Structure 1
């Protein structure tokens, strides 16, 4: 299984690295989501605040996809450039997440992603995975213990989720991008 997951991540990473608009589905029924990230897409915490709050030079692309026959795992490829601290390891405010929130809305973290050190990160994450720091990969509600979102929910309703990359200079988010279905599966 790990080989097929790595192959899937590598295929999407290769497509993304060459700047092609949509990843190849290779005959699979996987849903492939994408997000174009920019500092201009960051949302200020004040509802009347229209200033750019992310890194105005920052940009990136993200791809999130499911695995055939595994409804509890999502894989992702995250490519980011023109933001500070990409040469540094994760920690000290350097992190990436999938958040729940529609365009123009801020929302809670639902999935913890790897920091894109050197501008790249990719992984496959199961809902029950525990990260090396002891935190769950899929965030849970502190009161109920329930998942804040499931892999299926993210894949079926991408418009309700966004990717956010944070650093020390922009702790609320250096770049952000709303997820969308690349093949319009009718969501």
Structure 2
């Protein structure tokens, strides 16, 4: 169990660094993005719930307004996989809000990453108030959401 957690921690760190570096460089054109945002995902955070009581994970979100990109890396454990979907939703910690960005759901390995084009105004809104947005991972066992976590800036809990 400890070895599995260590391996997953190493993988998510590698994905976060790789994805963040790519997004901060703006892909190949060199336009820079801001500091990444983070979310700690748990089943207990699901609203209205219940989410997966054992589920946990992390998400790293990088916003590149100049390129109009939202990039992510997600790692989840202890939920039924592959996930059916993952999203960024608009909503505070007590709200089940609408989807604002479709993300790829983690596969059988519990990992997903990618980038999606979005409107610059949405990127500005997420950057200004990350706590009003959350990452949600859905699966067949918990269709409304298995794990969820509010976005936060580095160093915030």
TM-score by length of 2: 0.74
1:3 maps to which residue?
none
Q: Paired residue for 2:46, among 38, 42, 49? A: 42
State how far apart, in whole Å, the 1-side matches of 2:37 and 2:110 are: 19
2:95 maps to which residue?
105
CA contact (8 A) 2:81 2:106 kept: no
Structure 1's consecutive aligned runs of 4 or more residues displaced over 2 angstroms after TM superposition are: 23-26
- From the CA coordinates, give the structure whose radius of gyration is larger: 1
Structure (1 or 2) with the greater helix fraction? 2
| 1:13-54 Cα distance to aligned partner (Å, 9 max, x none) | 51658xxxxx8989x66221000000010011xxxxxxx500
The answer for unaligned runs of 5 or more in structure 1 is 1-11, 18-22, 45-51, 129-146
CA contact (8 A) 1:65 1:155 kept: no
2:131 maps to which residue?
159
State how far apart, in whole Å, the 1-side matches of 2:68 and 2:33 are: 15
The answer for unaligned runs of 5 or more in structure 2 is 1-11, 26-31
CA contact (8 A) 2:15 2:73 kept: no
C-alpha deviation, 1:127, in angstroms: 1.3
Structure 1 segment 1-187 matched on structure 2, within 5 A: 13-14=13-14, 16=16, 30-44=34-48, 53-67=50-64, 70=66, 72-86=68-82, 94-117=84-107, 118-127=109-118, 150-182=122-154
TM-score by length of 1: 0.63
CA, structure 1 residues 160+30, in 2 after alignment: closer, same or farther (shift >3 Å)? Answer: same
1:135 maps to which residue?
none
The count of residues paired between Structure 1 and Structure 2 equals 134
User: RMSD between aligned alpha carbons?
Assistant: 2.8
